[in-house]
């Protein structure tokens, strides 16, 4: 399979898909062209091994905590376990994925239905977006799965509680953190995270109330995946039908 990009290259995100003769999507791929170079940062506050991307997955530029955070630094939003991204607060509405305008339906749906409909958000209050798969077959923190949305050479982060970011409610007391209400960003060590919003599990709508940064770990026996949640400024279980940011780390 091959595709063409314009010359000169225009930064942005796209999802391309392969279809059968009945126009059913069989698989899709996220194409990401940043506006500025991505760097990998050794940051023990976030990852015990490997290095961390300097921006969220899908972001065109790095975020900054010392100036107003540009929307281009927000990146894309992911329901826990899904490989396909959803647009966040990009300033352009309506938005489309694989040529189809993004819609939200009350779920759950099957994993196969999610693959066939990358532009459909499946929401379910306090529930998972899917109902037919062991979560461990979707995202993992110890290895890379076919549903891991990070590009080649990267994987989802580990919820390692020896790292400050994943250790609990520490932003108010730990000097490794900094938060700027004015500029809508927070940092841990040398990493900056924009307050990129989330997708609600109640109705599938975008919400700017707070932000989730997902890890690859799921919470056995619950509807949760683990992520850093800015409503409480700590690592906690979050409903998997919510959509949050992803910050990739280099493969171990």
Distance of CA 3 to the CA centre of its chain: 24
Look at residues 182, 171, 154, 164 and name the one whose alpha carbon lies nearest to residue 251. Answer: 154
| pLDDT tens-place string over residues 126-160 | 999 999 888 989 999 989 999 999 999 999 999 99
Q: Is 99 exposed, middle or buried (0-12, 13-18, 19+ CB in 10 A)?
A: exposed
pLDDT for 1: 65
Domain ranges of the chain: 39-94+133-250
**Cβ-Cβ contacts under 8 Å for 8 (sequence gap 6 or more):** none
Residue with tokens 């698989």: 27
Sign of the dihedral through C-alpha 67, 168, 196, 27: positive
Residue 32 φ then ψ, to 5°: -125, 120
pLDDT for 91: 47
Least confident of 45-59, 172-186, 197-211: 172-186
pLDDT for 90: 55
pLDDT for 98: 56
pLDDT for 208: 84
Which of the four pLDDT bands, split at 50, 70 and 90, describes residue 5? confident
Region 235-251: what's the mean pLDDT?
95
Region 198-226: what's the mean pLDDT?
92
CA dist 87 and 97 (Å) reads 8
Global confidence as pTM: 0.94
Please determine, for residue 227, whether its predicted confidence score (pLDDT) is greater than 60. Answer: yes
pLDDT for 99: 61
> Which two three-digit tokens encode residue 237?
């279980």
CA-atom Rg of the chain in angstroms: 17
pLDDT for 231: 87
Point out which residues pair with 209 in neighbouring strands.
none
């Amino acid at each position: 399979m091959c595709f063409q990009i314009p010359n000169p290259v225009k930064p942005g995100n796209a999802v391309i898909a392969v279809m059968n003769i009945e126009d059913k999507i069989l698989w899709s791929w996220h194409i990401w062209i940043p506006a500025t170079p991505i760097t990998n940062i050794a940051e023990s506050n976030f990852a015990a091994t490997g290095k961390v991307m300097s921006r969220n997955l899908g972001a065109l530029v790095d975020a900054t905590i010392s100036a107003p955070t540009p929307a281009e630094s927000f990146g894309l939003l992911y329901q826990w376990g899904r490989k396909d991204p959803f647009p966040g607060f990009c300033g352009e509405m309506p938005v489309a994925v694989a040529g189809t305008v993004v819609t939200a339906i009350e779920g759950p749906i099957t994993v196969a239905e999610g693959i066939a409909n990358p532009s459909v958000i499946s929401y379910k209050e306090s529930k998972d977006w899917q109902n037919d798969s062991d979560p461990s077959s979707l995202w993992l923190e110890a290895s890379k799965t076919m549903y891991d949305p990070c590009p080649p050479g990267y994987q989802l982060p580990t919820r390692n509680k020896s790292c400050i970011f994943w250790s609990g409610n520490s932003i108010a007391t730990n000097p490794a953190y900094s938060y700027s209400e004015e500029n809508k960003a927070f940092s841990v060590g040398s990493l900056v995270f924009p307050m990129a919003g989330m997708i609600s599990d109640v109705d599938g709508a975008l919400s700017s109330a707070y932000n989730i940064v997902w890890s690859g770990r799921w919470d056995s026996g619950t509807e949760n995946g683990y992520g850093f949640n800015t409503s409480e400024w700590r690592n906690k279980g979050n409903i998997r039908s919510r959509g949050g940011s992803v910050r990739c780390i280099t493969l171990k």
